[in-house]
Amino acid sequence: MTQMNMVQAINDALRFEMKRDDRVVILGEDVGKVGGVFRVTAGLYDEFGDDRVIDTPLSEGGIIGTAIGMALYGLRPVPEIQFSDFIFPAYDQIVSELAKYRYRSGGEFPCPMVIRTPVGGGIRGGHYHSQSPEAQFIHVAGLKVVCPATPADAKGLLLSAMRDPDPVLFFEPKRIYRAAKGEVPDGDYTVPLGKANVVRGGEHVTLVTWGAMLYEALDAANKAAAEGVQVEVIDLRTLWPLDIDTIVASVKKTGRVVVVHEAPRSCGLGGEIVSLINEKAFLHLEAPPKRVCGFDTPFPYTLENEYLPLSHRIVPALLETARF
């Protein structure tokens, strides 16, 4: 076990898999000599050379289109989109091509690749560098969507994603790139896709979240405990396929649920989670489900901490739900 932050854990996973599997290639803007805007790929260019760590032009559609061709011809590309806000020039390549190849070919042409990209606010990046677009990809059949919250999960989930036969969007919460630290297993370590983690046990309210908001959720749960409310915190880790069984099992125990995410409230993943809970555990609910989310506005610059669903917004939702 080694103490790492999330940047180091992701770098460790990339290095390990590139040594293990010579089909793995990295491509994107500034990922080579510079090591990426957040230095996540630092050192890999020097170790593996420019035929496996490829600096590309500033063209997201070109990056993903090239990676799709690589995957179809047997490579395991890991393209990086510098910020998730810039992924939309590649949206057509992702949803119309990448997500469809296995289906349209009857399984003859799988397209395994991992698209890495930083997401979310918390770095004063304003509305062009702070978005959380996960719901727009979860809605597309054929894609898996992952968002780790800890360094150990970042390594384990990324190794699993790079070995998966299907395309995976790997969202990295930039707010905790260096703030989240913890013990990370050395060597080959995987976390299965599609399995949530019950991070904190509790009997009164279930709180479901992912990414950087896990730490706000845990802080809110501690504050709620001081008010006599015990909160069970679930970190989804994989957003799609969703581990609804773990959520339902918790809700059947607590009878109450709050969902927290950074993305805007309307049509966010929180709405789908609440809908599934209503379908599968309605008779166990003792209070209406609540969502604590970003607002239905562009992400603000000066009002960032008002927009984000931080602990001070989560605590009232937990207490109101518990006391309903």
pLDDT at position 276 is 98
Q: Answer whether 2-184 and 197-322 agree in fold.
A: yes
pTM above 0.85, yes or no: yes
pLDDT at position 177 is 97
- Kindly report whether the peptide bond that precedes residue 241 is cis, defined as omega within 30 degrees of 0: yes
Fold of 2-184: Rossmann fold (3.40.50)
pLDDT in tens, 171-229: 999 999 999 999 999 999 999 999 999 999 999 999 999 999 999 999 999 999 999 99
pLDDT at position 126 is 85
pLDDT at position 79 is 98
- Token pair belonging to 42: 């630092």
Query: Dihedral sign, CA of 61, 6, 152, 196?
Result: negative
**Active-site residues: which are they?**
129
Domain boundaries, the chain: 2-184, 197-322
pLDDT at position 123 is 85
What is the 3-state secondary structure of the chain? Answer: CEEEEHHHHHHHHHHHHHHHCCCEEEEECCCCCCCCCCCCCCCHHHHHCCCCEEECCCCHHHHHHHHHHHHHCCCEEEEECCCHHHCHHHHHHHHHHHCCHHHHCCCCCCCCCEEEEEECCCCCCHHHCCCCCHHHHHCCCCCEEECCCCHHHHHHHHHHHHHCCCCEEEEEEHHHCCCCEEEECCCCCCCCCCCCEEEECCCCEEEEECCCHHHHHHHHHHHHHCCCCCEEEEECCEEECCCHHHHHHHHHHHCCEEEEEEEECCCCHHHHHHHHHHHHHHHHCCCCCEEEEECCCCCCCCCHHHHCCCHHHHHHHHHHHHCC
Other CB atoms within a 10 A radius of the CB of residue 232 amount to 23
Report how far residue 259's alpha carbon sits from residue 252's, in angstroms, rounded to the nearest whole number.
Answer: 15
Fold of 197-322: Rossmann fold (3.40.50)
User: Which residues of the chain are under the pLDDT cut of 70?
Assistant: none
pLDDT at position 316 is 98
pLDDT at position 124 is 85
CB crowding 61-97: b at 16 or more within 10 Å, else e: eebbbbbbebbbeebbbbbbbbbbbbbeebbebbbeb
pLDDT in tens, 247-271: 999 999 999 999 999 999 999 999 9
- Token pair belonging to 49: 């050379």
For residue 94, which amino acid is it?
I
pLDDT at position 32 is 96
Report how far residue 136's alpha carbon sits from residue 138's, in angstroms, rounded to the nearest whole number.
Answer: 6
What residues form DSSP beta bridges with 172? 118
